[in-house]
Structure 1
Amino acid sequence: MLKLGQFLSKDNEEQEESLLGEDSGGLCSLSPTQRIFGFAACLVAGLACMLLSLIVFAKPIKFALLFTFGHLLAVGSTAFLLGPAQQLQMMLDPVRVFATAIFLGCVVVALICALWIHSKLLTIIAIIIEIGALIWYSLSYIPFARRMVSELMIRLCDTEL
């Protein structure tokens, strides 16, 4: 009986490790539990930054910095689950490489508008575009989601994304 319990325990650990990308080539030495805690902490910190940014909404430069940092933390949190190499590989997958490039480009433009140009109007516009790019990037992980949104836009607005 003890051997069967040990076998099932090892089988569950192997499934958990394969789901969390334990075969990352030895690049990540975190245990599966540490990866889940790292993911949760990074995601919560990102969401907290995005929520805190609403407090300083009247100051678009501070808002842009907090909001963009929150976006990057939330998106980067999945690297704890998959490993950084797997995350980068998925981001550069041909299906979502353009969505990734657009999202990262919008992040850079928002930071440039906030830190270098110091234009409140351009910063707000860049943040709105960044939110749209994040949604489009996130939809790339859901099968057929971008196609459905495009078809919906065609029907509702008589335009295509």
Structure 2
Amino acid sequence: MDKLRRVLSGREENEELGLTAQVLDASTLSYGTRVKWFVICFAGGILCSILGTALLFLPNGLKLFAVFYTLGNIAALASTCFLMGPLKQLKRMFEPTRLIATIVMLLCLVLTLCAVFWWHKKGLAIVFCILQFLAMTWYSISYIPFARDAVIKCFTTCVT
């Protein structure tokens, strides 16, 4: 199959591919596959978050809630890697316009798990989950042009 691909792409038959070219050749996904895995990963993230919320009311539910809610947010965040690729995703995450939102979001993901497993502070875990939600929302709307400005204007109008 590789020989056929090389012949059809115009490469000579005895031409050796470099390691980077081989890796990129093997890991290229079609657009349809990227969209399918984005939907699967994003839906899995939403399902984890909903499951975590449902488990909140069990005896050890807060730990399960924190884990599933955090995993859900990580899966939803990772789902966009299928659309734009992991390196481009990381570059865009740490652009100056969304740097603070990214840092707060990642910090809240870690602090939620710390509050539940190491510090055993239930109230603090809930606060960090709320901050996770707010940071993830602020991060997500940074991809929509002028959305942050609209939210700020709406919030200041409601407050004043």
Structure 1 length as normaliser, TM-score?
0.77
Higher mean alpha-carbon deviation, 48-57 vs 145-154, is at 145-154
2:123 aligns with 121
Spell out, residue by residue over 1:16-52, the C-alpha distance to the aligned partner (whole angstroms, 9 max, x if none): xxxxxxxxx9384223222222111111111110111
- 1:49 matches 2:18: no
Partners of 1:81 and 1:48 lie apart in 2 by: 20
**What pairs up with 1:87-102 in 2 under 5 angstroms?**
87-102=89-104
Q: Is the contact between residue 42 and residue 77 of structure 1 (CA under 8 Å) also seen in structure 2?
A: yes
2:24 partner amino acid: G
Unaligned runs of 5+ in 1: 1-24
Partners of 2:45 and 2:109 lie apart in 1 by: 14
**What pairs up with 1:12-91 in 2 under 5 angstroms?**
26=24, 28-58=27-57, 59-91=61-93
Percent identity of equivalent pairs: 36
Partners of 1:155 and 1:84 lie apart in 2 by: 38
1:132 deviates by 0.8
Spell out, residue by residue over 1:81-128, the C-alpha distance to the aligned partner (whole angstroms, 9 max, x if none): 111011111111121111111111111111111221121111111111
RMSD: 1.7
1:156 aligns with 158
Partners of 1:49 and 1:136 lie apart in 2 by: 20
Q: Is the contact between residue 40 and residue 77 of structure 1 (CA under 8 Å) also seen in structure 2?
A: yes
Q: Is the contact between residue 61 and residue 118 of structure 1 (CA under 8 Å) also seen in structure 2?
A: no
1:150 deviates by 1.4
Structure 2 length as normaliser, TM-score?
0.77
1:6 aligns with none
